[in-house]
Amino acid sequence: MNNTELELLKIIADMDGTPDGAYNIRSNSGLADRRVTENIDIKTKTDKSGIDIIIKPNTKGEKVHIPVIISETGLKELVYNDFYIGDNADVEIVAGCGIHNCGDEESRHDGVHTFFVGENAKVIYTEKHFGKADGKGESNMNPTTVINIADGGYMEMETTQISGVDSTDRKTTAKLGANATLVIREKLMTNGTETAKTDFTVDLDGVNSSANVISRSVAKDNSYQLFLSRINGNNVCSGHTECDAIIMDNAKVSAVPEITANHIDASLIHEAAIGKIAGEQLVKLMTLGLSEQEAEEQIVNGFLK
């Protein structure tokens, strides 16, 4: 791979050289490199574009990287990745997509990730999206995540997009069994005329299931963001959804949290807050010697941590 592609891997998957453990690197719609381990197998699908990641039951402390990079202008792809996490496993999955569009045509990656989390299994899943353009071509990404968590399972998902993606439509649906837990943390920043839509739907089907969906975003310039979040309490359960956004310049942000209790013992909470940076925050930092722009950057970086 060239320096541009190596830079993308470092940004989206923290890969500085060959990682330990299993990995699958996809580059410009082809397989660049792959490694499997005794407990983690990766297979190329035969019926459509994508891979199956199979993690054996009781696998502990292992990590798998599955980054996607695009460095060709005009390349558009749709990829299906399915994750099978065995019962009692405890693993970390690092994904992400980076596009460096060097031309004037649209480059786009659409990915569908489906998770089957086994009983009492634990998954930490991180996903970063990044775009960069040298020409006029757009870099667009549309990730779809489908989550199925069996009884006693736990999944923590952190998704980050902070630069260079012109348009994104991010959809996540989840179904939880008894005593299952889902935690989602989204960090998002848009600039220029970028648009971002986030759509979460969580069904708390199992007794004592729980979900916590938190989104923090910053909208700058003339960008637009739409946040949709639905939590359906279908049993004895607890659910919380929260959207906090900072709006700057001429940007626009819409937040639509929705909770539905279909059981008398469903306990659900939703919160949404949109506002500009407080003047007193800027003044305080500027008295320490920062310019107004530097003060804004400090506040935004702290907000998105």
For residue 286, being part of any structural domain is answered with no
Per the CB < 8 A criterion, the answer to whether 83 and 53 are in contact is yes
Per the CB < 8 A criterion, the answer to whether 219 and 226 are in contact is no
What would the two tokens of residue 242 be? 């929260």
Which pLDDT belongs to residue 125? 98
- Cα angle, residue 200 at apex, residues 232 and 277 outer, rounded to 5°: 115
- H or E stretch covering 46: none
For residue 288, being part of any structural domain is answered with no
Which pLDDT belongs to residue 287? 80
| CA atoms of 83 and 81, how far apart (whole Å) | 7
What are 167-215's pLDDT values in tens digits? Answer: 999 999 999 999 999 999 999 999 999 999 999 999 999 999 999 999 9
Number of folded domains that form the chain: 1
What would the two tokens of residue 61 be? 């402390």
For residue 285, being part of any structural domain is answered with no
What are 120-156's pLDDT values in tens digits? Answer: 999 999 999 999 988 889 999 999 999 999 999 999 9
For residue 193, being part of any structural domain is answered with yes
For residue 292, being part of any structural domain is answered with no
User: Residue-wise pLDDT tens for the chain (305 aa)?
Assistant: 778 888 999 999 988 888 889 999 999 999 999 999 999 999 999 999 999 999 999 999 999 999 999 999 999 999 999 999 999 999 999 999 999 998 999 999 999 999 999 999 999 999 999 999 888 899 999 999 999 999 999 999 999 998 899 999 999 999 999 999 999 999 999 999 999 999 999 999 999 999 999 999 999 999 999 999 999 999 999 999 999 999 999 999 999 999 999 999 999 999 999 998 877 877 777 787 888 888 888 888 888 88
For residue 303, being part of any structural domain is answered with no
For residue 23, being part of any structural domain is answered with yes
For residue 304, being part of any structural domain is answered with no
- H or E stretch covering 44: strand 40-44
- H or E stretch covering 93: strand 90-101
Domain that holds residue 94: 3-278
| Residue 233 φ/ψ, nearest 5 degrees | -90, 105
